[in-house]
Amino acid sequence: MPTMADTPPDRPRDRIDGNLPEFTVGELSSAVKRTIETAFQRVRVRGELSGVKRHSSGHLYFALKDADGLIDGVCWRGQAAKLAIRPEDGMEVIATGKLTTYADRSKYQMVVETIELAGQGALLALIEERKRRLAAEGLFAAERKQALPMLPTVIGVVTSPTGAVIRDILHRLADRFPRHVLVWPVAVQGAGAADQIARAIAGFDRLPAGRVPRPDVLIVARGGGSIEDLMAFNEEVVLRAVAACRIPVISAVGHETDTTLIDFVSDRRAPTPTAAAEMAVPVRTELLQRTLDLARRLVGGLARAVEDRRLRVAALSRGLGDPAGIVEQARQRLDDRGERLTRVASTMVERRRLDVATLSARLPHPRTQVALARTRLTAAAQALDQAHKAALTRAGHALALERARLQDLGSRLDATLPRHHRAATDQVQGLARMLETLSYRATLQRGYAVVRDGEGAVLSTVAAVRGASAIDVELGDGRVSLGTKPAKAKATTAAQTSLFD
| pLDDT reading at 501 higher than 80 | no
User: What's the average model confidence in pLDDT over 190-194?
Assistant: 85
Using one digit for the tens of pLDDT, what is the confidence trace for 139-173? 999 999 999 999 999 999 999 988 889 999 999 99
Residue 345: the pLDDT is 87
Kind of pairing between the strands at 470-475 and 450-453:
antiparallel
DSSP assigned state of 103? G
Do residues 66 and 90 make contact, with C-beta atoms less than 8 angstroms apart? Answer: no
Kind of pairing between the strands at 43-54 and 60-65:
antiparallel
DSSP bridge partners of 95: 45, 115
Residue 275: the pLDDT is 92
Kind of pairing between the strands at 470-475 and 92-102:
unpaired
The size of the chain, in residues, is 501
Domain boundaries, the chain: 4-124, 140-282, 283-315, 440-501
More confident residue, 327 or 183: 183
More confident residue, 1 or 434: 434
What is the C-alpha end-to-end distance of the chain, expressed in Å? 106
Phi then psi for 416, rounded to 5 degrees?
A: -90, -20
| pLDDT reading at 11 higher than 60 | no
Distance CA 107, CA 112 (A): 16
Residue 337: the pLDDT is 85
User: CA 199, 205, 206, 209 torsion: positive or negative?
Assistant: positive
Residue 102: the pLDDT is 79
Residue 30: the pLDDT is 83
More confident residue, 445 or 291: 291
Question: Among residues of the chain, what percentage have pLDDT more than 70?
Answer: 91
Residue 487: the pLDDT is 46
Question: Among residues of the chain, what percentage have pLDDT more than 90?
Answer: 24
Burial 413-427 (b: 16+ CB within 10 A, else e): eeeeeeeeeeeeeee
Using one digit for the tens of pLDDT, what is the confidence trace for 30-60? 888 888 878 888 898 988 888 889 888 889 9
Least confident of 13-27, 264-278, 300-314: 13-27
DSSP bridge partners of 481: 472
User: What's the average model confidence in pLDDT over 394-401?
Assistant: 89
The mean pLDDT value of the chain amounts to 83
Residue 424: the pLDDT is 87
Kind of pairing between the strands at 92-102 and 43-54:
antiparallel
What is the Rg, in whole angstroms, of the alpha carbon atoms belonging to the chain? 62
The hierarchical CATH code for the domain 140-282 is 3.40.50.10550
Using one digit for the tens of pLDDT, what is the confidence trace for 62-104? 999 887 888 999 999 888 888 877 888 877 888 999 888 877 7
Phi then psi for 100, rounded to 5 degrees?
A: -150, 180
Residue 237: the pLDDT is 92
Do residues 84 and 71 make contact, with C-beta atoms less than 8 angstroms apart? Answer: no
Burial 443-473 (b: 16+ CB within 10 A, else e): ebeeeeebbbbeeeeebeeeeebeebeebbe
165: nearest Cα among 235, 267, 254, 264: 254
User: Collapsing DSSP states into helix, strand and coil, what is residue 131?
Assistant: helix
| pLDDT reading at 14 higher than 60 | no
| pLDDT reading at 489 higher than 70 | no
Using one digit for the tens of pLDDT, what is the confidence trace for 126-136? 888 888 999 99
3-state secondary structure 215-283: CCEEEEEECCCCCCCCHHHHCHHHHHHHHHCCCCEEEEECCCCCCCCHHHHCCEECCCHHHHHHHHCCC
DSSP assigned state of 144? G
CATH superfamily of the domain spanning 4-124: Nucleic acid-binding proteins (2.40.50.140)
DSSP assigned state of 148? P
| pLDDT reading at 202 higher than 90 | yes
Residue 184: the pLDDT is 93
